[in-house]
Structure 1
Amino acid sequence: MNRLSALAYASLLTSLTGVALSMSNSPLRAQDDSSIPPLMEQINKGNWLPQQEAESLRDEFYYQNAVQAYVLTLPILNTIGMRDGSEATFGSGYNVLPIWKERMDSRTWVPTPNADVIYSMSYLDLKKDGPLVVAAPPNVIGMFTDFYQHTLTDVGAIGPDRARGGLYLLLPPDYDGEIPKGYFAFKSPTYNVFLFFRTVMAKGENGPDPGPAAANAERTRVYPLWAPEKDVRPMQFPDASGKRVNMMYPTGNTYWTKLKAFVDYEPVASIDPVTRGMLASIGIIKGQPFEPTDKQTAALQKAIETAPKMILASRQLGRPDKRNLYYKDRQYENIWAGGTAEWMQDSYLDVLQRASYFQFAYSSAPAMVMRTLDAGSKYPFTARDADGNFLNGSNAYKLHLPPNPPAALFWAVTAYNVTDGSMPETKQLLPSINGFYKVKTNDDGSVDLYFGTTKPAEAPDANWIQTVAGRDFIAAVRLYGTGTEFFDQTWKPDDVVKLK
């Protein structure tokens, strides 16, 4: 090594030694309690939690997951409740189609029933019976949905038959056979399918005449695709009118056992992965035992009691974005909040709005949401009077409908209970008024309707809906065959006004 190289080498050693000494004196040389990552600082200084705290948090997590599972699966249990209540009263089978031949009144407990059309509702099992054909009569307003209440298709004016009637072929989710020509064919994500038909009444001498609409509904036929005529069971059309039928979803822990039975019966893909994961977190997994501990059973019951209150609170307090309001100057709400029939907003699935709907209603179809001229239906409703106060049955109210409601088929106004959408049960039994009644009209063609436990002095008999004292209620306006005046808001119902 020459002298120059030796000097350079010595200089390098000195430099490296200085760096080493500098690093040894640096505060970065070791981690201590005064400098740890934020999450370690937040969670017990980087140590496991105390055993009791960990167990308490695990139990709380289970409970919170049960609440979310309720919110996500309410559409399923809504349908199961209707099926179980119907079949317990009228029987089951593809050939059993209960029809409310004299209209549905408040003795039928079901979310937001329509007392102003004739209902036909049944529950089909494509796993048990295979592909089924439904011969739908003409002039039906209806739909088929899976048991998650996803619409398979509208039926009627907005459906492919265009109100002419037709043959609908419903295929199970695992069907891979030939699909014959000549049918409106739809594959369901669930084996269970909900058939929901409404037929419009004729105008009779003293009000709506249900006879022709009920007779038209009885033209419905359901049969297995591959069955010869001689093996098809004859249709049964039990009259559901006037009977006490409980078709509400469960309010106790049977909610979870019925949900588990559904999960086991249906294909895995019928429920989205996120919801399946939430169910798995509380022990509901397809094909595996559901055996909650006593503590978990108590948490599940608490969730059943608390989750509905949370949903109700959301409905009560309203959306911060006000998308649920139909008008800028009225109290009326749109239960879809400007989303689609599948609860999609611009960039997200509106899970809470969906749960709000299925707490007090059922069946969401494109015909209810799309702005279809003279064919679809719209349902502006209000829970508040013109001053913003909740409607209560102890008070008397007036609702003014301007002339010429934009409803090519008919208009109606109905009172509903706030919590579950059932109809308030009074001596009236049918808390609804429609355009087929001999409703007293004003000189300009407008109509004033009244609400109260007793008939207000100024109210004509035909214009009064009876309410229950001390109980809050909702007033819903129905427009079937909705016209342009509703969509451009040149016609809109007045707010409900409290009478003094």
Structure 2
Amino acid sequence: MKTKLKLLLAVVSVFFSCNRPVSKETTTIGNTENANENAVSLVDATLQGDELIKTDFGDIQMEQTFITKESIDKLNHQLYLQRAVSIYEWSLPVVSFQKWYNASSEVYGANDLDFVENKSFDEKVGILTANATTPYVIGWANLANTGPVVIDYPAGPSAGGVLDFFQLSLGDLGLAGQDKGKGGKYLIIPNGYDVSKLDTKGYFVINATTNKIMIGTRFLSTDQAEVDKMKDNFLIGKFGEPLKPAKFISNTNKRFSGVMPSGYAYFELVHQFIQDEPMVQQDKIFYTYMRYFGIENGQPLNPSAELKKTLTEGAKLGELMSRANQIEPREDKPYYDNTTWYRLMGNFPLTKSSKTDYYLDESNEYYFEAVTVTAGMKSNTPGPGTTSYLTNKKDKDGNFLLGSNTYKIHIPADMPASNFWAFTIYSEVTRCFIDNTEAKDKLRATSIDSRDKELKINDDGSVDLYISHTSPEGKESNWVQTNEDEGWFPVFRTYGTQQAFFDKTWQLGDIELMK
């Protein structure tokens, strides 16, 4: 009797254990102790039945092909994170310009069609990879407010351009422009404007693709009297109204930061940019992604706490991915074989049209660490208005450039630059000038150019430069100064680039670690 009772209890126990509901928290393939062992990779997953799938963002649990609530939350978060990163990549150039546009009024008090002259170290230190040799003269306009704009551009040596807010070239000004350095009238027409209302005869016409635009130039003459004359003859205004001398805001010695913010503040600038901007068809997918986050034209930005957290993560992940592309370009190769030098302009189109594919990796390689590019800057045609740029992140042996080390670079003779060359170093963190508080002349501490009267030239016409936190003994005249605890990178510029640069018969030496 006792034996039968024990057998009956055992059967009942098995029955209830087999039919007991299993909680979602413990649902796994096999038992919880062996869950990770039984998980399959995403590549090997069947996506059917009871399956635990291992992914980079956590395990995904399936019960008879249904995805559990916890796993659905993981997938949704990952989807939104991927969309946030995509928006980040697409918007890099516009966020950089929006930040600069804001600073023009907030820091310098400039209105649309006013020009801020950035000349001193403090006025330039906020510009991504600014040059240290020529002043920047930068103006902005919102064509939605101004309508068509006329520039009566002065004759003389200058290199300028008009750019949309994706930093794509609308047209060059000066030596590389339609006026060829002789001056002339330019008419900038807003996107979608009825051109039949305008008499364009006698104008160089520029068609804008965004409402907000940049108008910038660099006066290249070293003769201040010639520069002053060009500024006096620089006229600007709305079409149909008398033109007035351009207003130049100069000698402020004020700093601004053009560095794109990390985290949620980045997307606040994205939201600011799209207000009153026309959406072109090829950007529709990015506008769709933005709408899911509440980033919309004409609507306030007020995402939920969860979406705000995802945008913060997306901006930081996007920044890391852009930094990686900057250090090891995904769609670029060294300018010279078997060297670390890249040409800074990258392989992307300068203009935007419905027939143009997206070049996200190619353009972001440039726009993460630099601002503005015109056809003249990217030209492969030798001439006085052509400037070429080389950059890298590593020394000859493939190691990162560190402020704690001492380096040497050899610049061969017969430099292919009809005007001059310049070697400038930047912070890997900010992509702006190395800001060395110990230096008395900060521009000179961060940059050397061939016009420097103290520069020592070798007997064969070549030049050796030294880069370190403290100067090697006797090398002060050929030395630029790093910060000891900060990674850095150079930009080597040739002004008035000649054919030997383009056909590579002249080659810049690699940066070498001095031991």
TM-score interval (norm. to shorter): 0.7 to 0.9
**Counterpart residue identity of residue 204, structure 2:** F
Secondary structure at the residue paired with 2:162? strand
2:503 maps to 1:494: no
2:500 to 485, 489, 494: 485
2:421 maps to 1:414: no
2:144 to 104, 124, 127: 127
Name the TM-score, length of structure 1 as normaliser. Answer: 0.83
2:279 maps to 1:268: yes
Q: How does 1:63-74 map to 2 (within 5 A)?
A: 63-74=81-92
Secondary structure at the residue paired with 2:338? coil
1:86 to partner: Cα distance: 2.0
Alpha carbons of 1:313 and 1:95: their partners in 2 closer, same or farther (altered >3 Å)? closer
On the 8 A contact 1:104/1:114 being kept in 2, the answer is no
On the 8 A contact 2:110/2:249 being kept in 1, the answer is no
On the 8 A contact 2:163/2:171 being kept in 1, the answer is yes
On the 8 A contact 1:111/1:422 being kept in 2, the answer is yes
On the 8 A contact 2:174/2:182 being kept in 1, the answer is yes
1:372 to partner: Cα distance: 1.0
Q: Name the residue aligned to 1:358.
A: 367
Q: Name the residue aligned to 1:392.
A: 402
Q: Distance in 1 between matches of 2:459 and 2:373?
A: 38
Secondary structure at the residue paired with 1:421? coil
Q: Distance in 2 between matches of 1:343 and 1:394?
A: 42
**Counterpart residue identity of residue 390, structure 1:** F
Secondary structure at the residue paired with 1:99? strand
Q: Distance in 2 between matches of 1:469 and 1:266?
A: 44
**Counterpart residue identity of residue 500, structure 2:** E
1:115 to partner: Cα distance: 1.0
Q: Name the residue aligned to 1:405.
A: 415
Name the TM-score, length of structure 2 as normaliser. Answer: 0.81
Alpha carbons of 1:466 and 1:216: their partners in 2 closer, same or farther (altered >3 Å)? farther
Structure 1: 5+ residue runs without aligned partners?
1-36, 203-208
On the 8 A contact 2:123/2:252 being kept in 1, the answer is no
1:311 to partner: Cα distance: 1.0
2:484 maps to 1:466: no
Q: How does 1:413-432 map to 2 (within 5 A)?
A: 413-426=423-436, 427=439, 428-430=441-443, 431-432=446-447
Alpha carbons of 1:316 and 1:214: their partners in 2 closer, same or farther (altered >3 Å)? farther
Q: Deviations over 1:8-48 (max 9, x none)?
A: xxxxxxxxxxxxxxxxxxxxxxxxxxxxx966568947754
On the 8 A contact 1:284/1:290 being kept in 2, the answer is yes
On the 8 A contact 2:187/2:200 being kept in 1, the answer is no
Secondary structure at the residue paired with 2:275? helix
Identity %, equivalent residues: 28
Secondary structure at the residue paired with 1:79? helix
Secondary structure at the residue paired with 2:380? coil
1:257 to partner: Cα distance: 2.4
Q: Deviations over 1:65-109 (max 9, x none)?
A: 111111110110010111112221212323421113x44557631
Q: Name the residue aligned to 2:21.
A: none
1:314 to partner: Cα distance: 2.3
Q: How does 1:244-255 map to 2 (within 5 A)?
A: 244-255=255-266
2:466 maps to 1:450: yes
Alpha carbons of 1:425 and 1:38: their partners in 2 closer, same or farther (altered >3 Å)? closer
On the 8 A contact 1:336/1:353 being kept in 2, the answer is no
2:317 to 306, 314, 317: 306
Q: Distance in 2 between matches of 1:275 and 1:287?
A: 17
Q: Deviations over 1:286-338 (max 9, x none)?
A: 3345431111111111122221111112222343x6x3310013211123444
Q: Distance in 2 between matches of 1:82 and 1:483?
A: 32
**Segments of 4+ moved more than 6 angstroms:** none
Q: Name the residue aligned to 2:209.
A: 189
1:469 to partner: Cα distance: 0.5
Q: Deviations over 1:194-222 (max 9, x none)?
A: 012111142xxxxxx66644653454222
1:98 to 116, 120, 129: 116
**Counterpart residue identity of residue 453, structure 1:** H
On the 8 A contact 2:143/2:212 being kept in 1, the answer is yes
Secondary structure at the residue paired with 2:368? helix
Alpha carbons of 1:282 and 1:425: their partners in 2 closer, same or farther (altered >3 Å)? same
1:353 to partner: Cα distance: 2.4
Secondary structure at the residue paired with 1:360? coil
Alpha carbons of 1:422 and 1:127: their partners in 2 closer, same or farther (altered >3 Å)? same
**Counterpart residue identity of residue 213, structure 2:** V
1:118 to 135, 145, 151: 135
Secondary structure at the residue paired with 2:163? strand
Secondary structure at the residue paired with 1:98? strand
Aligned-residue Cα RMSD (Å) equals 2.6
Q: Distance in 1 between matches of 2:316 and 2:104?
A: 24
Deviates more, 1:106-115 or 1:467-476: 106-115
**Counterpart residue identity of residue 248, structure 1:** V
1:441 to partner: Cα distance: 0.7
1:62 to partner: Cα distance: 1.1
Secondary structure at the residue paired with 1:198? strand
Q: Distance in 2 between matches of 1:289 and 1:52?
A: 31
On the 8 A contact 1:341/1:365 being kept in 2, the answer is yes
Alpha carbons of 1:342 and 1:368: their partners in 2 closer, same or farther (altered >3 Å)? same
Q: Deviations over 1:40-62 (max 9, x none)?
A: 56894775422232223212211
Q: Distance in 2 between matches of 1:394 and 1:316?
A: 19
Secondary structure at the residue paired with 2:131? coil
Q: Name the residue aligned to 2:379.
A: 370
On the 8 A contact 2:382/2:497 being kept in 1, the answer is yes
Q: Name the residue aligned to 2:125.
A: 108
Secondary structure at the residue paired with 2:321? helix
On the 8 A contact 1:378/1:479 being kept in 2, the answer is yes
Q: Name the residue aligned to 1:160.
A: 178
**Counterpart residue identity of residue 490, structure 1:** T
1:274 to partner: Cα distance: 2.6
